[in-house]
Amino acid sequence: MNFDWNTWASEQRIEFPILKEQIYGKPLVYLDNAATTQKPQCVIDAMSHYYLHDNANVHRGVHALSERSTLAYENARRVIQQFIGAKSHKEIIFVRGTTEGINLVAQSYGRLALKANDEIVLTELEHHSNIVPWQLIAEQTGAIIRVIPIHDNGALNLDIAQQLINKKTKILAVGHISNALGSINPIKKLIEWAHAVNAKVLIDGAQAIAHMPMDVQALDCDFYLFSGHKMYGPTGIGVLYAKEALLEVMPPYQGGGDMIATVSFEKTVYNQLPYKFEAGTPAIAEALGLAVATQFIQALGWEHIQAHEKSLLAYATPMVAAIPELSILGTTSEKAGIISFVLDHIHPHDIGTIVDRSGVALRVGHHCAMPLMQRLGVPATVRISLALYNTQADIDQCVAAIHDVRRFFKRVAS
């Protein structure tokens, strides 16, 4: 008997209080998960418990609350270490999110490793947060940015990728999954090519971390980054994983409290890992919430999450594609739960505004991927992005709302 993934997803919805909301009197259909996911009750409870019972700064106090907070915070680090298969808790750096983590690597490792005419390789699929930091460090060091193009279906052109990754390459920075199209990049192969020429590899895992299991040691990437809010955790917290040997030689990104061992006006001695990169009071409650989010995911089981999302994408894609005058962008077979589309003669912003009145939350715009939009020849797209709590009923309501958009504009035109 085939497992009923739709029923499974309906059962998971109970854990997410916000999904009981109504928008303009309609049931909320939340399909903007690539921007941020909703939070299960267990994550909300973990953060509330900290503020209600343990609120104190970490690492600095000898009183009971500080000791409890420190123990919980450092345990969260180890939970996340286990979640991504890192070798040591020292390789887990808490940051505000993927964006801050990429900036940290660019400014700390980039300053150390790059010189004039060295090459940084990116792809046409990248989010702005994996473009702009590299442009900044390239301007500062004289390094040159090379870009791997994509095929029309949204897949990387691997023939050109293999040519661009050469002895001049010092850093390859690539997204695991495209936030705009859902394309899953062959990062294992790209890592092998980069390491063959002694280049370091940074993987932007923001869109992948909630949708597939991760083992950074097996992957052998040098840096892997993700944000809590895209994996059912809080905003304002994320993780930079980096190999310990690299972190040891990288200079601090920010200065302040807790990242030091001793300070005098003559000299500062920096703290040991991972604290060397965590200046100031950290996002304590958010780190605890993130750890609980990883446990929530693991308790559900990756095999269930992936099977459900694959099933839902297979259900949604032909329904969306069948809408007259609609074109899906990003049709590679290696794809996560994202459907990005345009509708002839109707601006994506108009679509997003109208479907919102039906309770459907979609993302419209350039998705912080303006170079990709230029490559595709569109100013913006409408993006449906799926999560473990979405159901076929969500897709049905969304598709019906898009049909309403078409009918509205036909009436206006007539």
The 3-state DSSP class for residue 131 equals coil
Distances (CA, A) of 45 to 12, 52, 235, 247, 288: 17, 10, 15, 33, 10
**DSSP symbols for 153-172:** TS-B-HHHHHHHSSTTEEEE
Find residue 263's DSSP bridge partners.
268
Contact call for residues 126 and 174 (beta carbons, < 8 A): yes
279: left (phi over 0), alpha (psi -120 to 50) or beta: beta
Q: Rounded to the nearest 5°, which phi and psi values hold at 174? A: -145, 145
Contact call for residues 9 and 312 (beta carbons, < 8 A): yes
Q: E strands of 5-161, at which residues?
A: 22-23, 26-27, 29-30, 92-95, 119-123, 144-148
345: how many CB neighbours lie within 10 A of its CB?
Answer: 9
**DSSP symbols for 361-393:** E-EEE-TT-HHHHHHHT-S-EEEEE--TT--HH
Distance CA 179, CA 35 (A): 8
Residue 352's Cβ-count burial label (10 Å; 0-12, 13-18, 19+) is buried
**Rg of the Cα trace of the chain?**
22
Distance CA 170, CA 195 (A): 10
DSSP code for 177: B
**Nearest residue to 402 via CA among 335, 329, 351:** 351
**Nearest residue to 390 via CA among 2, 1, 6:** 6
**DSSP symbols for 88-118:** -GGGEEEESSHHHHHHHHHHHHHHHH--TT-
Say whether 42 is catalytic: no
Task: Retrieve residue 153's tokens.
Answer: 């279906």
Query: Mind telling me the catalytic residues?
Result: 368
